[in-house]
Amino acid sequence: MADNNPLNEETNIFDNRAAAWDDKPRRAKLAADVARAICNAVKITPEMDVLDFGCGTGLLTLQFQPLARSVTGIDSSKGMLAVLEEKIREQGLTNVSARCIDLEKGEIKGGTYDLIVSSMTFHHIRDVQPVLAILSSLLKPAGTLAIADLDSDNGNFHDTPEGVFHNGFDRCIMKKHFETAGFVNIRNRTAAIVQKESPSGEIRPFTVFLMTGRKEMTV
């Protein structure tokens, strides 16, 4: 019997793209730009445990490997994670791990983190608020959530709409999502500008914002 679950279809899309995902230099540049913006916004220390939600092939994940005690990458695409796991093996990294977890299905597998990061993942999430609530639950008190994603783009960034549920985000709306999830000290900044070729061959700039928020201390 065929599985017509749209979430599974989306995962298959990324499984099929995984092997060639890192071939586009703009993706590595974006990861470096986002990591730089996060480091400018959050003081990262060797005692911190970091989670990368929607880690893909680990382009962002591995940026934090030299800085933190541990870095965990989670994704729902086994194909993407296989690429990350191969990088971990090849580089002999002992403080990086990868887990196949689909937070949209409410899957939670333990762990608490000082910092949770995510880049270019939330526009692929159908319902943002429940996922933010789960991420909050995985943060230690006073931990930080740092999300990078597209500013509203009228659907011009992606070549096809497959697996895309939001044409970027209005920063004010994303801030309200953060507030609803219980985050405080919410800040945003422009993290990167992506130069991307449109189907017509035109090179267009797209801005990527970084939004950070702190989980309130429990009394």
Per-residue model confidence as pLDDT tens digits over 179-197: 999 999 999 999 999 998 8
Q: What end-to-end distance do the CA atoms of the chain give, in Å?
A: 51
Q: CA-CA distance, 42 to 16, in Å (whole number)?
A: 34
Q: What is the CATH number of the domain that holds 90?
A: 3.40.50.150
Whether 1 maps to a domain, the answer reads no
pLDDT at position 11 is 53
pLDDT of 6 > 60? The answer is no
Whether 17 maps to a domain, the answer reads yes
Let me know: does 106 contact 134? Beta carbons within 8 Å: yes
pLDDT at position 110 is 66
Whether 147 maps to a domain, the answer reads yes
Q: CA-CA distance, 208 to 192, in Å (whole number)?
A: 5
Whether 25 maps to a domain, the answer reads yes
To the nearest whole number, what is the mean pLDDT of the chain?
A: 91
Mean pLDDT of 171-183: 97
Residue 116 lies in domain: 6-215
Whether 158 maps to a domain, the answer reads yes
Whether 138 maps to a domain, the answer reads yes
- Give the ranges where 63-184 is alpha helix by DSSP (H): 78-91, 128-138, 171-180
Q: What is the pLDDT of residues 99-157, one digit of tens each?
A: 999 998 887 766 799 999 999 999 999 999 999 999 999 999 999 999 999 999 888 88
Integer angstrom CA distances of residue 54 from 72, 89, 92, 205: 11, 20, 22, 23
pLDDT of 8 > 50? The answer is no
Q: CA-CA distance, 212 to 185, in Å (whole number)?
A: 8
pLDDT of 91 > 50? The answer is yes
Tokens representing residue 219 in the block: 């009394």
Tell me which range, 8-22, 48-62, 142-156, is most confidently predicted by mean pLDDT: 48-62
Domain count, the chain: 1
